[in-house]
Each structure stands twice: as C-alpha cells, then as structure tokens.
C-alpha cells in the first residue's frame, strides 16, 4: 500500500476529521434521511463496505430545492470578485486535501491512486478556472435602429440548477458542473451517483469551510426515483446538467420537457482512434494506452475503436498488445497499479458479452480476454485484432479495458467508418501529414478531437459532444454560458426630439 496506515484506519481517520461524512448536505446543514433509509457504499476492489449515506426522499428533495431557491436571491447579487474569492478558496482547500480526497476516491471508485490524485487536481482546476471566469460575465450594447433607443444585453443567472453526476469521475464531473453554476450566480443541488457519493460530500465539506453560503451548494444522496426525478420535475429547478449514458440522457430530456428546463447533456461516446501509416507508432501506442486504459476504460472519451491503416496494422497491434499486457492490474491503493477494478460485476459481464460477440464474429484475442484472477470486478487488459465496425464491440460503449482494432485502407474509408455511429463525443488520430490532419479534423463528426494525443481534457477547453453524445459545453469560457440567460433591454424615450 502507498501509505503506512492500513486503509481501514485511514478511513477512520478521515471520518474523525470530517472528510468522510455520512450525511447529506442541504437546507444549510448536514442531515440524515428522515426515514433513516441509507445507501451502502462499497469498495469495488474488494467488496468491503466503506460507509453509508442517507437515501433522501421526495419531500426532503423538495425542501432542499426551496431552500436553494431562497439562497439564490442573495447569491445572485454577490459581486463577481467575492464569488471568485470563495470559489478560489474552495479550489485551494481541495488542493490542500488532495491526498485524502484521492484516497477516498480510490476507495469508492477503484481507480489507481495516481489517477485519483490527478482527478482531484483536474476538479480543483475547474473551480479555479470558473473563479476567474466569474469576473468575465460580460454583457453587450447593440447600436440601435432608432436614435430614441438604446439597446443593452444583460447576462443573468438562470436560477436554481441541478447537477446529476456519474461514478467514473466522482470529483471532477461535480466540479465541472457546480463551479460554473456558482460562478454564474446560481444555487446548485448536486445529486452524485449512488456508487460514489463520498467524494461529492467531501467536496461539500470543503465548500462549506471555504465560506460558500448555506443553500448555495447542496449534495443530495438518494435514489433516481426519489431525488433525481424530483429535481427533474420541480418547476423551480431551471437547469439540469447531466453526465451519463445516452439512454438515461434521453429519458432526462423527455422528463425536463414538462417544465421546459435548459439542459446540458454529456452522454455516451464511441471514440474512434485512427492511426495512419505515416504516424509515429511509438507515440500512437502511448496515446492509445492513455486514452483506452485511463480509469480502466471507463471514460466517455475513451478510445472505443482503434483503426489501423493496413501497412502498419500488424506492427501497431503487436506493439499495443505487448504494452497492454504489461499493465499492472490491482487494488488502486497499491503502489504501481495501473488498472483498477471495474465499478461492478455487471460492468465485467457487459465486457465479456461484447468480447464473446466479437470473437464469435472472427475477432482474434492478442492479449487478455478474460476476467482477472484478482476478483469479481477485475478484467485483463485486452487487445483484439480482426474487428469490424458492425460488431457490437464497435457499436456500443465498452467501458472496460478492451481495445478492438479495425484495419482500414484509405483516408476516405476510415472517415466514413469513424462517423458511422450515432455517437459524436471525442475522436483521436495520429498522422504527421499536416494536410491530412486538417482534412480529418474537419470531417470527423465529434465535438472534440485529439491530433497526435490521446488525452484532451482540461478545464480551459469546451468539453462536449454532438449527435447522440449530447449538447451543451462544459469547461472553457463556453461552460459558463450554460448557466446564464441572455436578457435584451430596450431603453426608449431617450431623445426628446424623436
């Protein structure tokens, strides 16, 4: 283990110092569910129970919404510099507590400790970024058609927001949604995944410590039916921001329609990763490893299909299989581990199912291909050759450590294959030909593309997809707009002569 102290003792220590908290945070205080109902949280690496958190009901969620609505009345008037200061304090506290937050994240989510630490810094980076952007919410003036009028455009907070976040990035996805909402002057209710609520609660502990006023940021733990559905249905919630599957996103969109909420959806992906014959193959393999095996393949932007141009396909496949088979699988708390467990046995079953379909249709396993002997949630890093774009493994999000390789001949062919999916989140390609780089970047139907890199996420850029991968942007200066309304003011009666 990375730390001398055994994990159970370290969790106990975090419980004592308040970073591991087993209450929800709403109506300005830390509360249990009125029914006493709880959700139990387990470590996916060993199945041990870590903690339990309240399973709140519909009524408590409604109370939280009303309280957030009241808090909004003052928060929206707080000057930008003061909001920025509070957000910055929050980001600093996250960075100061990065070791403990990372430990907690690995315990509930499973990713290796170094990745968990990177996620905490990534999350804090969003808060820091939006602390600055809070100061740059600019309006506009428009030359009027008439000398008697002046036209002004104001940006104002949209209102109470609800953020619904996934288990794969329990800290960063919350930060990416809550920070811009708060910076825009909105109060925000966060409903974290029931697999990984502890990181979100720890963030709220630090937000409170930073001085974010009561009701401005709440964390509501509980079921989809009681908490998420109430947030979706409530007329005072004016904005929903969600990261998760396309299937759930569609349901959420339908449900938000009843109260015509503004919605941001960051949904599933099926990222193509193209390697052209002129690419630097060593760099391409590094890029595939980074993109495919980050968080054990459980990211929306993971390479889901590797396209290799025929002249280099055999060499690239072998290089990738050699590198992948050396990745160290294990409990994320152990030193040197590169792949942790998947989130649950159902995730392993899905990977096995896709693999079975692929091998039945002719895919060849170059390495891995089985559950890992370490336990129910572990899977071997796997590379598959002879895949085709119509196998299920190339049509569905794998969300596991499996890299299917598809061989292609021409640029035109691979663009058409890459775009032949309802998804459009991220894409990656490796080439040293500048003309091709532009052509391919422009032709790919995705919201983001990495050219000669396998990692594209950072707080300064607009993260988001097209097609069934969703709409709306997170991060960058664009991320703030999602939480603002644009109000047009027409001042008349200015020129008494007209």
Q: How far is the CB of 125 from ligand SIN (least distance, A)?
A: 11
CB 25 within 8 A of CB 54: no
Q: DSSP letters of 417-481?
A: HHH-SS--SEEEEE-S-HHHHHHHHHH--SSEEEES-S----TTS-B---GGGEES-BSTTHHHH
**Residue 303 structure tokens:** 């390479």
Of positions 457, 467, 468, 483, contacts ligand SIN by CB under 6 A: 457
Q: In terms of CB distance, is 172 or 355 closer to ligand SIN?
A: 172
Cα–Cα distance for residue pair 9/7, rounded to 1 Å: 5
Q: Lay out the site mask for ligand SIN across 258-297 (x = CB under 6 A, - = otherwise).
A: --------x-------------------------------
Of positions 299, 317, 431, 469, contacts ligand SIN by CB under 6 A: 299
CB 224 within 8 A of CB 264: no
Q: How far is the CB of 402 from ligand SIN (least distance, A)?
A: 16
Cα angle: 433, vertex 437, 442; to 5 degrees: 155
Residues of this chain, 168-207, that bind ligand SIN according to CB under 6 A = 168-169, 172
In the bound complex, which residue of the shown chain has the CB atom lying closest to ligand SIN? Answer: 457
Q: How far is the CB of 148 from ligand SIN (least distance, A)?
A: 50
Q: Does 446 bind ligand SIN (CB under 6 A)?
A: no
**250 CA to centre of own chain:** 17
Cα–Cα distance for residue pair 77/342, rounded to 1 Å: 44
Q: Does 248 bind ligand SIN (CB under 6 A)?
A: no
Q: In terms of CB distance, is 418 or 448 closer to ligand SIN?
A: 448
Residue 445 burial (C-beta neighbours within 10 Å; 0-12, 13-18, 19+):
middle
Of positions 56, 201, 301, 391, contacts ligand SIN by CB under 6 A: 301
Active site includes 300?
A: yes
**Residue 197 structure tokens:** 């609520």
Total number of residues that touch ligand SIN (CB under 6 A): 9
Contacts of 431 (CB under 8 A, 6+ apart): 274, 276, 278, 279, 437, 440, 451, 452
| DSSP at 361 | T
Task: Choose one: 54-62, 271-279, 299-307, 326-334; the region binding ligand SIN (CB under 6 A).
Answer: 299-307
Q: In terms of CB distance, is 243 or 382 closer to ligand SIN?
A: 243
**Among 43, 41, 64, 51, CA closest to 21:** 51
Q: How far is the CB of 168 from ligand SIN (least distance, A)?
A: 5
Cα–Cα distance for residue pair 494/498, rounded to 1 Å: 8
Q: How far is the CB of 387 from ligand SIN (least distance, A)?
A: 22
Active site includes 367?
A: no
Annotated catalytic residue, options 27, 161, 296, 300: 300
Q: Does 300 bind ligand SIN (CB under 6 A)?
A: yes
Q: In terms of CB distance, is 235 or 422 closer to ligand SIN?
A: 422
- How does strand 49-54 pair with strand 38-42? antiparallel
Annotated catalytic residue, options 22, 119, 266, 482: 266
Q: How far is the CB of 421 from ligand SIN (least distance, A)?
A: 17
Q: In terms of CB distance, is 230 or 243 closer to ligand SIN?
A: 243
**323 CA to centre of own chain:** 27
User: Please, where are the H alpha helices in 259-384?
Assistant: 281-293, 310-325, 345-360
Residues of this chain, 150-169, that bind ligand SIN according to CB under 6 A = 168-169
Q: How far is the CB of 457 from ligand SIN (least distance, A)?
A: 3
CB 103 within 8 A of CB 116: yes
Of positions 243, 309, 389, 431, contacts ligand SIN by CB under 6 A: 243
Question: Which residues are at the interface with ligand SIN (CB under 6 A)?
Answer: 168-169, 172, 243, 266, 299-301, 457
Active site residues: 266, 300
């Amino acid at each position: 283990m990375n730390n001398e102290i055994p994990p159970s003792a370290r969790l106990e220590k975090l419980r004592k110092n308040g970073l591991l908290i087993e209450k929800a945070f709403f109506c300005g205080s830390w509360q249990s569910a009125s029914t006493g109902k709880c959700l139990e949280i387990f470590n996916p690496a060993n199945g041990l129970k870590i903690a339990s958190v309240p399973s709140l009901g519909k009524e408590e969620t409604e109370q939280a919404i009303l309280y957030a609505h009241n808090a909004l009345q003052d928060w929206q008037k707080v000057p930008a510099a003061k909001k920025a200061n509070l957000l910055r304090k929050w980001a600093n506290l996250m960075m100061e507590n990065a070791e403990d937050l990372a430990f907690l994240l690995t315990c509930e989510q499973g990713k290796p400790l170094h990745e968990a630490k990177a996620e905490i810094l990534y999350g804090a980076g969003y808060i820091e970024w939006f602390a600055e952007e809070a100061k740059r919410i600019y309006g506009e003036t428009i030359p009027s058609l008439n000398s008697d009028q002046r036209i002004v455009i104001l940006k104002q907070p949209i209102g109470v927001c609800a953020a619904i976040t996934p288990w794969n990035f329990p800290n960063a996805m919350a930060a990416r949604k809550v920070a811009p909402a708060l910076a825009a002057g909105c109060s925000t209710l966060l409903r974290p995944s029931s697999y990984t609520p502890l990181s979100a609660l720890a963030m709220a502990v630090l937000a409170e410590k930073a001085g974010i006023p009561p009701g401005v940021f709440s964390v509501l733990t509980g079921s989809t039916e009681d908490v998420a559905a109430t947030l979706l249905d409530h007329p005072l919630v004016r904005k929903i921001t969600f990261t998760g599957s396309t299937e759930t996103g569609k349901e959420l969109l339908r449900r938000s329609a009843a109260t015509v909420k503004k919605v941001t959806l960051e949904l599933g992906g099926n990222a193509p990763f193209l390697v052209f014959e002129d690419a630097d193959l060593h760099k391409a393999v590094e890029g595939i490893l980074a993109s495919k095996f980050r968080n054990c393949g459980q990211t929306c932007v993971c390479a889901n299909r590797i396209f290799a141009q025929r002249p280099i396909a055999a060499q690239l496949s072998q290089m990738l299989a050699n590198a992948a088979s050396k990745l160290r699988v294990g409990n994320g708390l152990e030193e040197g581990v590169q792949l942790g467990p998947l989130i649950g046995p159902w995730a392993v079953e899905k990977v096995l199912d896709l693999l079975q379909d692929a091998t039945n249709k002719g895919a060849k396993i170059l390495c891995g291909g089985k559950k890992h002997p370490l336990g129910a949630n572990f899977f071997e890093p796997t590379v598959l050759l002879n895949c085709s774009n119509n196998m299920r493994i190339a049509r569905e999000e794998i969300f596991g450590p499996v890299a299917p390789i598809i061989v292609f001949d021409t640029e035109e062919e691979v663009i058409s294959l890459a775009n032949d999916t309802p998804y459009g989140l991220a894409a990656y390609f490796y080439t040293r030909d500048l003309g091709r780089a532009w052509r391919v970047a422009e032709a790919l139907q995705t919201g983001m593309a990495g050219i000669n890199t396998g990692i594209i996420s950072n707080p300064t850029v607009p993260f988001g997809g097209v097609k069934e991968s969703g709409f709306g942007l997170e991060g960058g200066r664009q991320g703030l707009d999602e939480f603002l309304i644009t109000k047009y003011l027409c001042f008349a009666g200015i020129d008494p002569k007209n």
